[in-house]
Amino acid sequence: MKSKEEILVKEVIDDFKARAEKRKSFDLIWQINMNFLMGNQYCNIGYGGKLEESDRQYFWQEREVFNHIAPIFDIRFAKLSKIKPEINILPVTNDERDKQSAKLSKKIYNSIKNKLEIDEKINQAIKWSEVCGTVFYKVDWNSKLGQTVANDENGQSIKSGDVEVSVVGPFEIYPDSTVCENIEDCQSIIHAKAYTTAQIKNMYGVEVEGGKVNTYSLDNVTNGVGGLGFNGTAPKLIEDVKNDSAVVIERYCKPSIQYPDGRLTIVAGETLVYDGILPYKCGDENERDFPFIKQTCISEPGCFWGTSIIERLVPVQRAYNAVKNRKHEFINRLSLGVLSVEDGSVDLDNLEEEGLCPGKVLVYRQGACEPRYLQSESLPNGIEEEEKQLLDEFNSISGVNDLLNGEKFSTQISGVALELMISQDETRLNASISSINSAHKLIAKKILKLYKQYASFPRLARVCGENGQIEMFYFNSSDITSDDIELEVSNDSLQTLSQRRELIFQLLDNGILNDENNQLSNKMKCKVLEMLGMGIWENAQDINELHIKKADGENLKFINNEDVKVSKIDEHKLHINEHIAFMLGEDFEKAAKKNKDLEEKFLKHIEEHKKLLKENESEEEKWTKTENNRS
């Protein structure tokens, strides 16, 4: 009789095989997309449900590949990789503690973002989504990372753990249903990947029996590509075998009535590695949830998997290759000619070997008709028209237009019309941009929630401050209140630096950024310089930032009943504004109810600032009069 562990392992493996069989049709589509991108464009799905390659039917047949998918992929990737979403963590209320928590959470995320190279991972994910239509991020906690906090009995280091973000291709994900549009609609998800037995032992500390595992790899072979008299090669995606390996199956189940905390089952080969609760509290309201985030190129209604632009371009690419190759075959007939020879009139072996070279003496049988070329017709106009229509279809389907094309671009076109054309071209990418921004937003949420769950030890983080200085700080889970923080993604995705600068200058010219006195405040000057990419261009603006931070610190000291003195070097206008803004918040109201003398202390402190401000202004007036009298 089988044990419960053996029954569970068999149930997980059978579940994995059933899901793999349901996903088989999507696997073939992804393989075709990858092959067409690499240039292996004479492949199709055979009757047995496997990828097959078609060979030449005749030795003279033109089988060249005119790959328009690859440059379209490069252009789309270049545009989408420009998207660098900035995460703005906003406090729910105007309380000072919520503000400080939001600032700290943003610093934590920016530090982790640089350490984990989130931007590089997003670029890697964009490539997957553009080829296969779907890609996933896995945000989990790795207990083997982080700082060493102690040593165990065997002298092995015990780490504090850290967040790990990885890009997972669609070949490794198996949902319980393909009709669920979002990950949140799935009840369980399987993540399966092949590892060597040595990797499995290092990851889980168990030894499993290795074997042969089917995987995919690249190969560069001759597959009938070329033309008359030559052959070519093209890289292609093929099925390969990985030896001494096993498949690690991770099945994640959402919380349910049977499993209130969810369930995670890990099977390596035929060995049960883990079976317990879902470890990550990265869902809403600190609920346990999947560690996966989905990103798509084009989402399909009623389908878990997205669609790739390449998938839509495959029929057009096949037709374009056919038209171009038939055109070249026609040119070959025109250039080489088709010779008509009477039977037995000439030496055919010699004629086939040497042809009709210049100066050749052609001997043919007396009384026979002399060999002659058959008269060829001119190239039909329909071929040229079909070629142009197919090129237009490439542009209309992909959303990528060549504005510098001589037929479409005119020197008489106005700047406004050109800007509208560029805007229309970029609008076609909005679906992909929206998915990238949404994925980035969820990555930030899950990272902060995992730190709130696991970061019990103080951690040292480093971040570049707004004034360009390196800032070091410690944090732990109690410093993060991600449940009370909203995450927004700024929507300037495809704008260049020059476009943003032009927009800022227009706002400045129209006076939109001015204060009630129609002047540009010091705080707004700092923000403008930061948006212009000149955050540390003037030291004066850096000093204003430091004054603002000092005023914020004084507010917290007042709440903690600490004495605060006004300094002559303070920027009194900035301090007065910051103190008044704090007094209008809820934090001050709550603290004032507990400490009735708090409001009087604030007002007295503000009066001291105003007194020193008047003294400084009077001194400046005296100095100005003195200078005017001298002049």
**DSSP letter for each residue of 579-594:** HHHHHTSHHHHHHHHH
The band of 530, judged by pLDDT with boundaries at 50, 70 and 90, is: low
Strand 134-142 with 43-45, pairing: unpaired
Residue 541, pLDDT score: 46
β partners of residue 419: none
Cα–Cα distance measured from residue 455 to residue 149, given in angstroms and rounded to the nearest whole number: 12
Tell me what the pLDDT averaged over the chain comes to. 78
> For residue 123, which of 87, 86, 176, 78 has the smallest C-alpha distance?
78
Cα–Cα distance measured from residue 558 to residue 577, given in angstroms and rounded to the nearest whole number: 16
Distances (CA, A) of 491 to 15, 323, 434: 41, 42, 9
β partners of residue 213: 242
Cα–Cα distance measured from residue 354 to residue 357, given in angstroms and rounded to the nearest whole number: 7
Neighbours of 14 (CB within 10 A): 10
Q: Is 161 left (phi over 0), alpha (psi -120 to 50) or beta?
A: left
Determine the distance from the C-alpha atom of residue 452 to the mean position of all C-alpha atoms in its chain, rounded to a whole number: 25
Cα–Cα distance measured from residue 120 to residue 545, given in angstroms and rounded to the nearest whole number: 31
Extract the runs of DSSP E, i.e. beta strands, from 66-147.
Answer: 87-91, 134-142
Q: What is the DSSP letter of 47?
A: T
Highest mean pLDDT among 48-62, 189-203, 221-235, 352-366: 189-203
For the CA atoms of the chain, what is the radius of gyration? 35
* Sequential DSSP letters for 462-515: EEE-TTS-EEEEEE-GGG--GGGEEEEE-S-TT--HHHHHHHHHHHHHTTTT--
Residue 225, pLDDT score: 64
Q: Decide which of 26 and 234 is more confident.
A: 26
Cα–Cα distance measured from residue 408 to residue 397, given in angstroms and rounded to the nearest whole number: 17
Residue 515 near residue 536, CB atoms below 8 Å: no
For residue 175, pLDDT beyond 90:
yes
Can you tell me whether residue 617 is helix, strand or coil? helix
Cα–Cα distance measured from residue 488 to residue 414, given in angstroms and rounded to the nearest whole number: 36
Q: Decide which of 194 and 591 is more confident.
A: 194
For residue 271, pLDDT beyond 80:
yes
Q: Is 35 left (phi over 0), alpha (psi -120 to 50) or beta?
A: alpha
- What is the mean predicted confidence (pLDDT) over 321-341? 81
For residue 251, pLDDT beyond 90:
yes
pTM of the entire structure?
0.74
For residue 540, pLDDT beyond 50:
no
For residue 536, pLDDT beyond 50:
no
Distances (CA, A) of 321 to 68, 119, 136: 10, 36, 33
Q: Is 146 left (phi over 0), alpha (psi -120 to 50) or beta?
A: left
For residue 487, pLDDT beyond 60:
no
Token pair, residue 534, equals 């000149």
Phi, psi of 555 (to 5 degrees): -60, -45
Phi, psi of 190 (to 5 degrees): -110, 130
The band of 124, judged by pLDDT with boundaries at 50, 70 and 90, is: very high
Highest mean pLDDT among 73-77, 86-90, 380-384, 493-497: 73-77
Neighbours of 213 (CB within 10 A): 18
For residue 192, pLDDT beyond 70:
yes
The band of 406, judged by pLDDT with boundaries at 50, 70 and 90, is: very low
> Which helix or strand (DSSP H or E) is residue 241 part of?
strand 230-253
Cα–Cα distance measured from residue 98 to residue 114, given in angstroms and rounded to the nearest whole number: 24
Residue 543 near residue 526, CB atoms below 8 Å: no
C-alpha count within 13 angstroms, C-beta hemisphere, residue 20: 14
Distances (CA, A) of 142 to 139, 146, 157, 275, 604: 10, 8, 14, 17, 52
Residue 625, pLDDT score: 67
Residue 482 near residue 488, CB atoms below 8 Å: no
pLDDT tens digits for 435-486?
888 888 888 888 888 887 777 666 655 555 544 445 555 555 555 665 444 5
The least confident of 380-389, 437-446, 511-520 is 511-520
Residue 402, pLDDT score: 59
pLDDT tens digits for 93-113?
666 666 777 777 777 787 788
